[in-house]
Amino acid sequence: MKHSESISKPLIIFIVSALLFSCQPDTVTETDEDVVSLVSPPLPTKLTNGSDARPNIVFIFSDDHSYEAVSAYGGRLSKVAPTPNLDRIASEGIRFDNCFVTNALCGPSRAVIQTGKHSHLNGFMENEHRFDGSQQTFPKLLQKGGYETAVIGKWHLGTDPQGFDFWNVLPGQGTYYAPDFRTPNGLASGTPGEYVTEAVVTKSIEWLEQERNKDKPFMLMLQHKAPHRFWLPPVHLLEEYVAKKYPEPKNLFDDYKGRGTPAQTQDMTLRVTMDLALDNKMVPFRQDRMNEAQKEKWNEVYDQIREDVLSKRPQGDDLVRWKYQRYMADYLACIKSLDESVGTMLEYLEESGLDENTVVIYASDQGFFLGEHGWFDKRFMYEESLKTPLLVRWPGVAKAGTVIKQMVSNLDFAQTFLDLAGIEQPSDMQGKSLKPLFEGKEPPDWRESVYYHYYCFPEYHAVRRHDGVRNSRYKLMHFYDLNEWELFDLEKDPMEMKSVHDDPEYAEALSHMKGELAKLREEYQVPPAPKLRKGETLFPPWREFGTFEIGLQDKGWIYLFDGKSLKGWRQPFATNPGEPLSQIAESTGIKVVDGEIHLSLSPQVFYLHTLEFSDFILELEAFTPSKNFDSGIGFRCVLPKGKQLPVGYQSEISDIRSGGIYDIGVGWMNPTDEEAKINDFVDRTGTFYKASAWNQIRVMCKGDRIKTWVNGQLCSDVKDSKHQVGTIGLQHHSKEGVYRFRNIRIQEI
Ligand code: CA
């Protein structure tokens, strides 16, 4: 067909992701006693029977776990959602009350832990970056020093793990149900019925029991996906957690008046940003990875909530309160499951006798807002996001029930692990070993403040770039792109409701903290911030999406396919120029089969619906073969008058490489020019779309902005002024296979 050229190029797309990324020491002997003895007594490296007596390390690491949701910290949720197994680590060991992260974001926190260096030195400043695994990391040093190393669970650093004898990691963010795992031998498909938190622990125990070299001490990084957004609990906990009533934070209805532009212009409120459909699960999505029993249980619980809320339709503050309760039920049920899995691991360690010589460390990659300031998510240097839980159990060494107030950081973990193993800490690492604190010592000259730096703007949630310093009394934050400062007196204002940076009474404190910030920037070799990316940011909040006004209406959907005929769909290619586009008849290339539209007959099939739309929500289900290129649903396909083809501009959800991933495309991308970009995207989001299975796709278009979800995961949030009013199209562009679509419906907004 003569139009094949003009269609084939445009179907390759450019992606903006929604979610959403040397040196070796000369020699490292098992122990350098001179170095180790500076901080602790030399450790025996060999017992008389020949085995290595250095302690094992089990590092249990979660994602977005607020200290408020660990009952050992005694916060407002501790009674309603206790975590007895985590509390046991604290009561049998140590609770750190002041552990802070250097950059409150998933990937960057992990890179800091790998390297013991701040983001600007390890190169991983944003989730979209890819970790340079060739650099010095603590697992490599442990391995060289005689440790057996493993990482199991969420990795989120893009590139393959290095320095590990064993690794099984979740692709990208991973999935809660039937999670796939990346392994050195390729992708291992998820097992139906499995839940991610349990799967990670099961794999960890299998490794401990069967895989590892038992002659060596080991380091296990057991890294959970939970409780990351969208907080999908295991079904056995749904009813219990839905039935509870969760105490609200005092500042749930914060008006942001005591703070500057950043707090007032973020996009992370329960009120506006929290999506009723996806965050609060008020559409029946995200079930394709559940087995039948799980689906049944899930629907039993959520259908009832949905029915109830759609009949009441709370508004304003009532809606915020309702969302908060829903959010806490899901988040805390994920935490409960996490806590159960910690119990499983502690029991295993006990039963196997490993517990006596194993240091168990629990931490999260950063904190999370649980309604404080009216927010969810993290990123800001405010306490809930900056602070992470840190619990340590080391039988025979760490005194039971210890509480440590010293300021520690995820920057310290790498050196702590090395120190525990009696391995020299490289001088270019920037933290401090916590081992002396574990041992109950009071190291002199402990740090008085910590440095923080968040780099992502424009970015999701619209948090401005900032760095800052926190000591035991004050916190200073500098939003340098706006040249705005915030200073908090944490003693008088622990909830950080009013910045005192311009209060004359705090002039001295301000000056001191500015000096401290300058000192830390110099000490950590912080370069000037990278140039601010172009763009206004702000995917400005879409207020309507947080309410019942749109999206959840049970009425207002227009079905673009009645399940029986191709009524309303047209062939875009007129036989002669100027001819009107015609209603299509069923042909071998497009057929209705069992309530589905089947597209085949390659190449180039492109059908458009006669209705035109400007701002809308589109939902549909798609089933595509695994090895085809470049097909899918196009929408807002602009068909200028007099033209026969959708030219000029088109965005689409499309298979961009080889059946692996669907996402929205904006603009055209040539795969040969942009291969690295496409590969990077596929690596990070490859779990969302499943080939040879039904996938649920939801698109919201408004103005120049489009958000896309695939199987309930937000995949992209893009702006492009070229978007116009257009029609919905279906296309098939591959050499073989049948592309199936069903339940195509649209709602104008
Ligand atoms: Ca995280």
Assess whether pLDDT exceeds 70 at residue 341: yes
Ligand 1 mean position, distance from CA 602 (Å): 44
Q: What are phi and psi of 258, to 5 degrees?
A: -80, 5
Ligand 1 mean position, distance from CA 63 (Å): 4
Assess whether pLDDT exceeds 50 at residue 87: yes
Ligand 1 mean position, distance from CA 26 (Å): 34
Ligand 1 mean position, distance from CA 366 (Å): 6
Ligand 1 mean position, distance from CA 678 (Å): 24
d(CA 226, CA 231) in angstroms, rounded, equals 7
**pLDDT tier at 30 (50, 70, 90 boundaries)?**
very low
Ligand 1 mean position, distance from CA 143 (Å): 26
Predicted pLDDT at 346: 98
Predicted pLDDT at 295: 92
Predicted pLDDT at 673: 43
Assess whether pLDDT exceeds 80 at residue 5: no
Cis before residue 230, ω within 30 degrees of 0? Answer: yes
Ligand 1 mean position, distance from CA 154 (Å): 10
- Mean pLDDT (the chain) is 83
Ligand 1 mean position, distance from CA 420 (Å): 26
Predicted pLDDT at 325: 98
**pLDDT tier at 487 (50, 70, 90 boundaries)?**
very high
**pLDDT tier at 397 (50, 70, 90 boundaries)?**
very high
Residue 119: both structure tokens together = 């983001």
**pLDDT tier at 408 (50, 70, 90 boundaries)?**
very high
Cis before residue 603, ω within 30 degrees of 0? Answer: yes
325-363 burial, b if ≥16 CB within 10 A, otherwise e? bbbbbbbbbbbbbbbbbbbbbbebbeeeeebebbbbbbb
| Domain locations along the chain | 17-30+57-523, 554-748
Dihedral over alpha carbons 689, 289, 340, 142 (to 10 degrees): -40
**pLDDT tier at 339 (50, 70, 90 boundaries)?**
very high
Residues in the 5 Å CB sphere of ion ligand 1: 63-64, 106, 365
Ligand 1 mean position, distance from CA 316 (Å): 29
Ligand 1 mean position, distance from CA 676 (Å): 25
Ligand 1 mean position, distance from CA 109 (Å): 8
**pLDDT tier at 618 (50, 70, 90 boundaries)?**
confident
Ligand 1 mean position, distance from CA 64 (Å): 4
Predicted pLDDT at 49: 55
**pLDDT tier at 460 (50, 70, 90 boundaries)?**
confident
Ligand 1 mean position, distance from CA 98 (Å): 18
d(CA 723, CA 359) in angstroms, rounded, equals 55
* pLDDT tens per residue, range 46-79: 554 557 889 999 999 999 999 999 999 999 999 9
Contact status, residue 70 vs residue 85, Cβ threshold 8 Å: no
**Among 142, 186, 136, which residue's Cα sits nearest to residue 165?**
142
Predicted pLDDT at 683: 44
Ligand 1 mean position, distance from CA 278 (Å): 19
Give residue for tokens 């227009």: 558
Predicted pLDDT at 595: 92
Ligand 1 mean position, distance from CA 378 (Å): 8
Ligand 1 mean position, distance from CA 466 (Å): 18
Cis before residue 227, ω within 30 degrees of 0? Answer: yes
Q: Which residue has the higher pLDDT, 724 or 220?
A: 220
143-157, 453-467, 643-657: which is most confident: 143-157
| For range 154-173, the mean pLDDT | 95
Contact status, residue 169 vs residue 155, Cβ threshold 8 Å: yes
Q: Which residues contact 534 (CB under 8 A, 6 or more apart)?
A: none
Angle, alpha carbons 502-507-508 (nearest 5°): 155
For the domain made up of 17-30+57-523, the CATH class stated in words is alpha beta
Predicted pLDDT at 635: 57
Ligand 1 mean position, distance from CA 56 (Å): 25
Ligand 1 mean position, distance from CA 126 (Å): 12
Ligand 1 mean position, distance from CA 308 (Å): 32
Assess whether pLDDT exceeds 60 at residue 625: yes
Three-state DSSP class for residue 592: strand
Ligand 1 mean position, distance from CA 81 (Å): 21
Q: Which residue has the higher pLDDT, 299 or 666?
A: 299
Ligand 1 mean position, distance from CA 124 (Å): 14
**pLDDT tier at 135 (50, 70, 90 boundaries)?**
very high
Ligand 1 mean position, distance from CA 365 (Å): 5
Ligand 1 mean position, distance from CA 397 (Å): 30
Give residue for tokens 């003693």: 491
Q: Which residue has the higher pLDDT, 13 or 677?
A: 677
d(CA 430, CA 25) in angstroms, rounded, equals 16
Predicted pLDDT at 626: 55
Predicted pLDDT at 362: 98
Residue 245: both structure tokens together = 């009533």
Ligand 1 mean position, distance from CA 684 (Å): 15
Predicted pLDDT at 208: 98
Predicted pLDDT at 648: 29
Predicted pLDDT at 694: 82
Ligand 1 mean position, distance from CA 362 (Å): 14
Predicted pLDDT at 641: 41
Ligand 1 mean position, distance from CA 103 (Å): 10
| For range 465-491, the mean pLDDT | 98
Ligand 1 mean position, distance from CA 368 (Å): 8
Ligand 1 mean position, distance from CA 578 (Å): 55
Q: Which residue has the higher pLDDT, 35 or 58?
A: 58
Predicted pLDDT at 546: 76
pLDDT more than 90, % of the chain: 59
Assess whether pLDDT exceeds 90 at residue 577: no
Contact status, residue 728 vs residue 633, Cβ threshold 8 Å: yes
Ligand 1 mean position, distance from CA 110 (Å): 9
Ligand 1 mean position, distance from CA 107 (Å): 7
- How is domain 554-748 classified at the architecture level of CATH? Sandwich (2.60)
Q: What are phi and psi of 437, to 5 degrees?
A: -70, -40
Predicted pLDDT at 708: 72
Ligand 1 mean position, distance from CA 655 (Å): 28
Predicted pLDDT at 236: 97
Ligand 1 mean position, distance from CA 264 (Å): 23
Ligand 1 mean position, distance from CA 611 (Å): 42
Helix then strand count (H, E) for the chain reads 16, 31
* pLDDT tens per residue, range 91-111: 999 999 999 999 999 999 999
Predicted pLDDT at 444: 92
**pLDDT tier at 738 (50, 70, 90 boundaries)?**
confident
Assess whether pLDDT exceeds 90 at residue 351: yes
* pLDDT tens per residue, range 527-547: 999 998 876 555 666 777 777
d(CA 711, CA 688) in angstroms, rounded, equals 6
Ligand 1 mean position, distance from CA 364 (Å): 7
Predicted pLDDT at 74: 98
* pLDDT tens per residue, range 234-288: 999 999 999 999 999 999 999 999 999 999 999 999 999 998 877 898 866 556 6
d(CA 690, CA 326) in angstroms, rounded, equals 28
Assess whether pLDDT exceeds 70 at residue 13: no
